[in-house]
A = this chain, B = another copy of it.
Amino acid sequence: MSPPLSPVRTRNAAATRTAILEAARRRFAHEGYDRTGLRDIASDVGVDAALISRYFGGKEELFEEVLTCGPNIAEFLEGDREGFGDRVATMMAIEPMREEKFELFLIMLRSASSPKAAAAIRRHSSEAFFQPLEAWLGGEDAAVRARVLSCLMMGATMNRMIHEDYLLDDSQRRELCDALARTLNHFVSSDV
């Protein structure tokens, strides 16, 4: 993808590890587990692919570590509760798609169909996604509401992935955004 990752990195193992993890996270989010080659990641970092296997053990372990130290739902939960629906819906239906904001979703959506990646995703989706969301939601039925919200957000991201513009004109996209925002807010605040 884009070359400049860490400015200088001369024989610094820790910095190289971090740079590999960052490059891997971006690649996995943009291309998915299967379509990301160790050589791609290595060339992003400016390093030999063999190094990745030596540092992380293999592609699966690298993916696992990306998820461990990776992005989570937290940044979606910043701000006031009443504004949650509008913030998320606007991000998903109106604003230009900034893939780096959706890395968690994209990694899940684009890698979940790969059996090896799916196992790791299953292992980590709870702590990176559902637990924080449920805690933020609060209430007895938080688990169920979190699932509905996750359906909406995943589905919206998926739609956006498939057809960038949703095949809608501007006013329809605003209507869609409103509908999503209201539905999201409904499950943020109310009982199911």
Task: Point out the residue from B112, B162, B180, B183 that lies within 8 Å of A158, measured CB to CB.
Answer: B112
Quick check: B162 and A148 within 8 Å, CB to CB? no
Number of copies of this chain that the complex holds: 2
Q: Give the chain B neighbours of A156 by CB distance below 8 A.
A: 151, 155
Q: How close is A141's CB to chain B, nearest CB, in angstroms?
A: 6
The smallest beta-carbon distance between A43 and chain B, in angstroms, is 19
Of B108, B126, B162, which one neighbours A167 at CB under 8 angstroms?
B126
Contact with B along A125-163 (1 / 0, CB 8 A): 110001000000000010111011011111110110111
A166 CB–B CB distance under 8 Å = yes
Residue A187 interfacial (CB < 8 Å): yes
Given the interface pairs A121-B162, A162-B121, A187-B179, the reply to whether A150 lies near B155 with Cβ below 8 Å is yes
A-B contacts besides A143-B168, A152-B155, 13 pairs, CB < 8 Å? A34-B35, A130-B167, A143-B172, A144-B175, A144-B176, A147-B166, A148-B176, A151-B151, A151-B155, A158-B158, A175-B192, A176-B192, A179-B187
| A interface, CB within 8 angstroms of B | 31-32, 34-35, 108-110, 112-114, 118, 121-122, 125-126, 130, 141, 143-145, 147-148, 150-156, 158-159, 161-163, 166-168, 172, 175-176, 178-180, 183, 187, 192
The 7 closest A-B pairs by CB, nearest first: A155-B155, A151-B155, A110-B113, A154-B155, A179-B192, A32-B113, A144-B175
